[in-house]
Structure 1
Amino acid sequence: MHTVRLLLATTRYDETVIEKRFHAISHIHNVIVKHAQKRLKRLSYDAEYQSLKAEYKKLLKKDTLSIEEKTRRKLISRQMAEIIRTHSLSEYAFQSYIKVCGKQFRKCLSSQQIQKEATRVWKGVEAVLYGNGKELHFKKYRDFHTICGKTNTNGAKFQKESCSIQWLGLNIKCKLPKDQDYLLEALDSEISYCEMARKMFPNGWHYYVVVYLKGDAPHKIKAVGRDDVAGIDIGTSTVACVSSRSVTLQELAPKCREYNQKIERLLRRMDRSKRILNPNKYRADGTIEPANHEKWKFSKAYRKNQNRLKSLYRQKAAYVKQSHEETINRLLHESVCFIVEDMSFTGLQREKKTTERRDQVSEIRQKDGSAKKIHKYKRRKRFGKSITDRAPASFVTILEQKAKLYGGNVSKVSTKEYKASQYDHAKDQYIKTDLSVREKIIAGHKVQRDLYSAFLLRNSNQKLNKPDQKKCIYEFDRFVKLQDQLIEKMKENNISMKQCFGF
């Protein structure tokens, strides 16, 4: 399946009606969330369910299970699922519940659009019941960006002939791009369903229709590398790729800092405005006074800045996605088959659980002027901000989609088993090095750490559990030559990132 997004040529009347419909979908969503919260709370009071859940967790923690224990675990799972159904916790139960509430909005929203919103809430409930979700949350009106359907015959209907959208009394034409060749080719497929979307700009909401079509998207890249396998070492801020003909080392989304600076300036401006208009809501030390329950006051300028802030976040997300796609398109010219490490970026975002002191002694001055030597605490923070800015997991997802589209694939290896950052093919042993060390000496040659990891991934054995030493020895001289040429070129062009590249 592929999608085509088109900007709608809306009038002021169209925008007013669409906004009412977004208000309606936000109300329906939160009604279902409230209902789901009640059902989950009742489930938490069910003694039988809680005892079964505790027993199921104990069985999950065991490394090996006997045949009786496996049978018992399956039985417990079925019993828990039956109890969940008796508490009306299912996708179809939510759709049935919201049917009555949805009748008052039948002029705004179709039955399938209301059902789709119930399905979205159910996905959140599934995360609470079976995943790592903790609780359901209500959503603000400004956080609703899409109204989705199920088919192209109910609710929003896209007309190919007139390139317009018909949606319960609204007939809105789409603005077409100058280059329509790709668009026409992409639309030459059967339509599955349509989704109405809105995006915030400094001058307000802009409205789009997203058409979901069956089949693969047309190919934009005409020539791709098919006879080679490339290794990719993806980090929190950088990506390194090694193929037989070229090597690549670059920063992910390098301009995201510019967006961060704009966002920080705007947030400070908004905070000053809020403090000026609400002096009673703050204590003398600047923290919020929880005892004050007066309504917050916001100026017109603050409301405009809210739109600007949301627009900046949208621009930043769009830039990161575009930057990833441009990088991946360049990599596809070299190969469509890639080997990457299966990284857990959510784990890297979390803080360390333990607090440790530094080995280095620090000297601090006390109030009386005397000096005191202490071991400061190590920072518990890790890579949360970097991962939020660079979105490396999104890079891997887009790489998988595009490689599959062009007939390739992305093979993932276990990080703990493969240990590409520790292996030395010349000595055929694993040598653990500190993360701050960005260069290594391998067989008398200085190699960049990320590029060497990508080189090892490319020269993996058939089981994808260890680098193939013979392949590495055979390919190493060519890799070193390509690496030295790349680093020399990057230094000439003043492309530097000391903490990640090492230069």
Structure 2
Amino acid sequence: MANFVVEFPLRTEKYQEDILNKRFEISRQIYNSLVNVTQKRYKEMIKTKKYRDLMSSLTGNKKTDKEIWKQINDIRKQYGMSEYSFHKDVKKMQKHFKDNIDSLTARKIAAALWKSYEKILYGNGKKVYYKKYGTLDSLEGKSNGSGIRFKDDMIFWNGMEIPVVIDYSNYYEYQAMQCQICYNRIVRKYVRNKYKYYVQIIFKGNPPVKVNADTGEIKHCVGNGDVGLDIGTRTIAIASQSDVKLLELADRIQNIENQKRRILRRMDRSIRSTNPDNYNEDGTIKKQGNKKVIWKKSNHYIKHQNELKELYRKQAAIRKYQHECLANYIISFGNKVYVEKMNFSGLQKRAKKTEKNDKGRFKRKKRFGKSLANKAPSMLLTIINRKLGYYGEQLIKIDTSEAKASQFNHFDGTYTKKSLSQRWNNFDGVKIQRDLYSAFLIMNIADDLKSFDIDKCNDRFENFYRLHNLEVERLIGKKNLSSISI
């Protein structure tokens, strides 16, 4: 069953904020203690010859590996590497802090750590990290029956009673409060140099439909038809039968990026002037062997650090808001949304090969890490998939290596490789922007999700070309990214 989240501010007193901060810190220490305990068991487990032999014997075939996985899971249980074992470990720690942290919240702390281990044991994760001071900013329960509870517009948690600010005149909030509560999450955010506290209530079912207060019309409706998306590191091309668009992702966050660069430069100058003994003559940090380097932070440095923290919060909030709006816009075109499978984590990594250009200079190994961090295209796809799920649909991912949308020509059925710098296709005098054409082809993918439906392409091309030209006219004269090339 689907769930949805609604966030409400908490009306906290100063003493309640102190208690909440204390509980966040206790939870962080419980988490780190649990990392300590589980890491010892994990390292002992991976040292055993039997475990290493079983892991190396995996072939990737589900049928043949079934028995091997069973033996691997037995070893993991033997060494206490399971979520249930983590719950037993955290229970021993929680009883010392039972006045502040209830058993269900402690279990959720253990569950959060288990998710990190799952990435290592079953995915591509490499390491489990400790949480630094002040970095654990959310705590949640497992139900609304005990632990963190919501009742009569109040949050009840281990002796604390905190009023929740709910606007019942807001149609969305009023409708949400009629739904059954699954569990609650308390969150703190660093807003304008101070912590503010919120409760995120997780409700069962689909979210209420948003309505325009003036007209009474439904704000966001899902369309009916095919939509093709060609998503890049900074842009997205959208093709449907009603509109064609080429947009920059989260275009309002670039000014924040410029501010971040200036603040980081000030912070670097401050930390260098305050700690001259920690640097070599060439400006590199001195190696202290096994000794920890001690850094003194000036008041100016702490001020800039808080400014940077605020900018990161703003950037994340703006990016999420713009992605939510864009997702609503995309699904308004149709309920069948197609996109290529993309390995964004692979694009973030530096290039492995060392290459030279035509002039004999070494090529930069940097790739798209900064763009992906700023624009978060993967987050947009996750939001689209979540919103489609409310209507019983899901984002459909096509086979990138088989379809080759950027190379295909539907007029003659041929494939032609193009360099990244080639932003336009020329089909016998018909010029089409590369990303928009790829989105058009993706919209007309065949049922096998590996090839294109030529009949659909031919039937829809005239309409697409008309909408394409309108979009190109809109973009002419505007300040666009180099990848758009208009």
Q: TM-score, normalised by structure 2?
A: 0.94
| Equivalent residues of 2:331, 2:337 under 8 A apart | no
| AA matched with 2:373 | T
Note the 1:92-171 alignment, pairs <5 A: 92-159=84-151, 161=152, 163-171=153-161
Q: 2:459 aligns with which of 474, 477, 495?
A: 474
Cα contact 2:167–2:174 (8 A) shared by 1: no
- One-letter amino acid matched to 2:317: A
* Residue 279 of structure 2 is aligned to residue 282 of structure 1: yes
Alpha carbons of structure 1 residues 2 and 225: separation in structure 2 relative to 1, 3 Å: closer
Residue type of the partner of 2:43? K
Tell me the CA shift for residue 23 of structure 1: 0.8
Partner in structure 2 of residue 232 of structure 1: 229
How far has the Cα of 1:101 moved from its partner?
1.6
Q: Is 1:219 aligned to 2:209, yes or no?
A: yes
**Partner secondary structure for residue 283 of structure 1:** coil
For 1:440, the equivalent position in structure 2 comes to: 425
Q: Distance in 2 between matches of 1:245 and 1:51?
A: 56
Return the alpha-carbon distance in structure 1 between the equivalents of residues 294 and 440 of structure 2.
Answer: 59
Q: Within 5 A, what are the aligned runs for 1:41-440?
A: 41-56=43-58, 59-60=59-60, 70-71=63-64, 73-159=65-151, 161=152, 163-177=153-167, 180-220=170-210, 221-222=218-219, 224=221, 226-291=223-288, 293=292, 295-358=294-357, 360=358, 362=359, 375-440=360-425
Shift of 1:294: 5.7
CA distance in 2 between counterparts of 1:104 and 1:300 reads 36
Distance 2:460 2:131 in 1: 54
Q: Residues 36 and 125 of structure 1 are in contact (CA less than 8 Å); yes or no, is this contact kept in structure 2?
A: no
Deviation of the 1:11 alpha carbon: 1.2
Aligned amino acid, residue 19 of structure 1: N
Which AA in structure 1 matches 2:336? Answer: C
Alignment partners' CA distance in 2, 1:54 and 1:330: 47
| Secondary structure in 2 matching 1:230 | strand
Instruction: Find the counterpart in structure 1 of residue 23 from structure 2.
Output: 21
In the other structure, the counterpart of 2:483 is 500
Q: Distance in 2 between matches of 1:416 and 1:409?
A: 21
Shift of 1:380: 2.3
- Structure 1: distance between partners of 2:476 and 2:115: 49
- Structure 2 distance, partners of 1:243, 1:290, is 58
Moved more, 414-423 or 134-143: 134-143
What is the percent sequence identity of the aligned residues?
37
CA distance in 1, matches of 2:428, 2:224: 28
The Cα of 1:302 is off from its aligned counterpart by 2.4
Superposed CA RMSD in Å reads: 1.8
What's the secondary structure of 1:250's corresponding residue? strand
Cα gap change, 1:226 to 1:202, in 2 (>3 Å): closer
Deviations 1:183-220 (A, max 9, x none): 01112111111111111123211111110110000122
Task: State the alpha-carbon separation in 2 of the partners of residues 410 and 134 from structure 1.
Answer: 29
CA distance in 1 between partners of 2:355 and 2:257 (Å):
31
Is residue 491 from structure 1 mapped to residue 476 from structure 2 by the alignment? yes
Deviates further, 279-288 or 348-357 = 348-357
The 8 Å contact of residues 204 and 307 in structure 1, kept in 2 or not, is answered as no
Change (3 A) 1:9 1:185: same
**1-structure distance, mates of 2:131, 2:361:** 41
Give the secondary-structure state (helix, strand or coil) at the position aligned to 1:142: coil
Task: Give the letter aligned to residue 251 of structure 1.
Answer: E
Deviations 1:306-354 (A, max 9, x none): 2222221111111111111111222233222211111111111122222
CA distance in 2 between partners of 1:354 and 1:301 (Å): 42
Whole-angstrom distance in 1 between the partners of 2:321 and 2:220: 20
Q: Deviations over 1:49-87 (max 9, x none)?
A: 12222223xx33xxx89xxxx55x322221221111111
Match of 1:456 among 441, 447, 450: 441
Count of matched residue positions in the alignment of Structure 1 and Structure 2 = 475
Question: Which residue identity does 1:22 align to in structure 2?
Answer: F
Point out the more displaced range, 10-19 or 305-314: 305-314
Q: Is the 8 A contact 2:234 2:377 kept in 1?
A: yes
Tell me the amino acid that sits aligned with residue 473 of structure 2: E
Unaligned runs of 5+ in 2: 211-217
Work out the CA distance in 2 between the residues paired with 1:272 and 1:179: 50
Q: Secondary structure at the match of 1:175?
A: coil
Of stretches 452-461 and 401-410 in structure 1, the one that deviates more from structure 2 is: 401-410
8 A contact 1:224–1:336 mirrored in 2: no
Which one-letter code corresponds to 2:287 in the other structure? P
Letter in 2 for 1:244: Q
Contact (CA 8 Å) 2:223, 2:334: kept in 1 or not? yes
Deviates more, 1:77-86 or 1:288-297: 288-297
Q: Distance in 1 between matches of 2:243 and 2:273?
A: 57
Q: 1:178 to 1:315 in 2, by over 3 A?
A: farther
Q: Which amino acid in structure 2 is aligned with residue 450 of structure 1?
A: D
Counterpart code for 1:217:
P
Aligned pairs (5 A) from 1:34-45: 34-45=36-47
Gaps of 5+ in 1: 363-374
Cα shift at 1:412: 1.1
After alignment, is 421-430 or 473-482 more displaced?
Answer: 473-482
- Contact 2:25–2:134, Cα closer than 8 Å, also in 1: no
**What is the distance in 2 between the residues matched to 1:50 and 1:489?**
59
Paired residue secondary structure (1:355): coil
Q: 1:87 to 1:277 in 2, by over 3 A?
A: same
The structure with more radius of gyration: 1
